[in-house]
Amino acid sequence: MSWSPRIVAFCCNWCAYAGADLAGISRKQYSPDTRILRVMCSGRVDPAMVLRCFEQGADGVMVLGCHPGDCHYLSGNEVAEGRIESAGETLSLLGIDRRRLLLKWISASEGDLFARTASEFAAMLRELGPLGGDSNSS
């Protein structure tokens, strides 16, 4: 059996999680390697949570939230940007390719975008190979 990446997707409750649900209801195909964790807001995803995912064997992490200006908590997605940038810097220091961490905005009506994002991220991770195979960061 061939290797497939382990992907954790932190999805905000109000937009990205609803987009993932729409993808499922609409029977959109996306990578079955994606494990969705619902969080109330993408801004609640702490860099330590991202690092813990990699420590526990994830090959990639996606943080998916509301589009700027549409956050149900007003500025949670702005907070997420700063936190994910910080997590990305830490990944680089650890020698982990920053492409393994993705921040993207997906609304509740964008089931197609969720499915496409999950599939494209999984394909990119397949090209990079298992996490232990990173030789340098980007």
Residue 132: what pLDDT? 81
- CATH code, domain carrying 92: 3.40.50.960
- Secondary structure (DSSP) of 1-56: ------EEEEEETTTHHHHHHHHHHTT----TTEEEEEES-GGG--HHHHHHHHHT
Q: Is residue 137 pLDDT above 90, yes or no?
A: no
Residue 28: what pLDDT? 95
> Does any domain span residue 75?
yes
Chain segment 91-124, per-residue pLDDT in tens: 999 999 999 999 999 999 999 999 999 999 999 9
What is the number of structural domains in the chain?
1
> Does any domain span residue 2?
no
* Residue numbers of the domain that contains 78: 7-127
Q: Is residue 138 pLDDT above 90, yes or no?
A: no
Residue 1: what pLDDT? 55
- Secondary structure (DSSP) of 101-119: EEEEE--TT-HHHHHHHHH
Least confident of 6-10, 33-37, 56-60, 130-134: 130-134
> Does any domain span residue 105?
yes
Q: Is residue 47 pLDDT above 90, yes or no?
A: yes
Q: What is the mean pLDDT of residues 40-51?
A: 98
